[in-house]
């Protein structure tokens, strides 16, 4: 079929005895067609604004289990945390965690390092909202001195221009 003939057919008016029908014949869906992987715990009746108000974080039972790292010495733990603080998945937490790690990891005790490791196992957007005080952290992190130090670091009271630190040895 030539382009000219196709254009003539398409541009013709629809006769009055023919019912016009939209191109989309499926019914509108109310559920999110592309849910995030960890959204299955949310009730489907809530819309996103209600979830943002009511949902503090992903419940622990829906989180993937972190790898057990038994027998890891402190130097290996510190080196792994430096690397993982830089490779988070979103730039906001890359900058907050990596600059915090550059400043604080060399002086942290082994217990603080393990707590920082557990905090980095949390979803990035949850930790971002906790650090910026947009949402309250769950009970397991509410009284954490490490999270308080991270919040103070994220406030950036000195108005320092932050960039990803180099991977050189401290």
Q: Please tell me the pTM assigned to this model.
A: 0.62
pLDDT of residue 52: 44
Burial 22-32 (b: 16+ CB within 10 A, else e): eeeeeeeeeee
7-16, 34-43, 82-91: which has the highest mean pLDDT? 82-91
Helix pair 91-104, 124-131: axis angle to 10 deg: 70
| Number of Cα atoms under 13 Å in the Cβ half of residue 59 | 7
pLDDT of residue 130: 92
Residue 50 contacts by C-beta under 8 Å, 6 or more apart in sequence? none
**What is the rounded distance in angstroms from the CA atom of residue 96 to the CA atom of residue 59?**
23
**Using CA of residue 57, residue 61, residue 63, residue 68, what is the dihedral sign?**
positive
Name the pLDDT band for 78 (thresholds 50, 70, 90). very high
Q: How does DSSP assign the chain, residue by residue?
A: --HHHHHHHHHSPPPTTSPP--S--SPPP-S-SS--TT-TTS-TTS-HHHHHHH--S--GGGSPPPPP-TT--HHHHHHHHHHHHH-SSSHHHHHHHHHHHHHHGGG--HHHHHHHHHHHTS-HHHHHHHHTTSSPPPHHHHT-HHHHHHHHHHH-TT-PPP-PPP-S--
Q: What is the pLDDT of residues 98-155, one digit of tens each?
A: 999 999 999 999 999 999 999 998 888 889 999 999 999 988 898 999 999 999 998 9
Answer whether residue 5 shows pLDDT above 90: no
* C-alpha torsion sign, points 55, 90, 118, 105: negative
């Amino acid at each position: 079929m030539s382009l000219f003939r196709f254009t003539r057919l398409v541009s013709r008016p629809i006769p009055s005895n023919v019912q016009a029908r939209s191109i989309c014949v499926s019914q509108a869906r109310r559920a999110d067609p592309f849910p995030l992987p960890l959204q299955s715990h949310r009730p489907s009746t809530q819309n996103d604004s209600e979830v943002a108000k009511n949902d503090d974080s992903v419940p622990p039972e829906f989180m993937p289990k972190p790898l057990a790292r038994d027998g890891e010495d402190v130097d290996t733990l510190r080196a792994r945390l430096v690397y993982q603080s830089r490779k988070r998945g979103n730039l906001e937490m890359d900058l907050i965690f990596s600059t915090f790690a550059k400043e604080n990891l060399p002086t942290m005790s082994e217990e603080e390092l393990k707590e920082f490791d557990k905090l980095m196992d949390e979803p990035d957007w949850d930790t971002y909202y906790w650090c910026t005080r947009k949402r309250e952290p769950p009970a397991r992190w509410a009284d954490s001195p490490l999270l308080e130090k991270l919040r103070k670091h994220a406030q950036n009271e000195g108005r320092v221009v932050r960039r990803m630190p180099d991977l050189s040895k401290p």
